[in-house]
Structure 1
């Protein structure tokens, strides 16, 4: 998460959000835009984690339904 705060655009690109990462990187280039870019990157990171937890929950529930 520290990477998302320090280099928000690059962290988004590494997680597969190419267009968002480019926009976030451009926003990051301005001094005032760095704070919103960092907040956006952290929020996106947490959203990706929540989505992965949701997928894992759905996999477990699907396995239990077959058993």
Structure 2
């Protein structure tokens, strides 16, 4: 997924269900200058969503153990 975020940032957003971000990223990527910021934005967003998912799992595990 990281490779997709670097090469086709807009597709990375669309595959994760963030349609408006994907369209905005596509518009940004259309310009040659905007491709690099779009790729960086997609990779950072991907890492943030992975961290959020990991944190939710940790909170669920803590609640299940009764702490």
Is the aligned partner of 1:26 residue 2:27?
Answer: yes
TM-fit CA distance, 1:17: 0.9
1:3 maps onto 2:4 in alignment:
yes
Aligned length: 66
Q: Please report the TM-score for the alignment, with normalisation by the length of structure 2.
A: 0.94
In the alignment, does 2:40 pair up with 1:16? no
Q: Distance in 1 between matches of 2:26 and 2:55?
A: 28
TM-score under structure 1 length normalisation: 0.94
Question: After TM superposition, which residue ranges in structure 1, 4 or more long, deviate above 3 angstroms?
Answer: none
How far off is 1:18 after superposition?
0.8
In structure 2, stretches of 5+ residues that fail to align are none
Tell me how far apart the structure 1 counterparts of residues 66 and 20 of structure 2 sit (CA, whole Å): 38
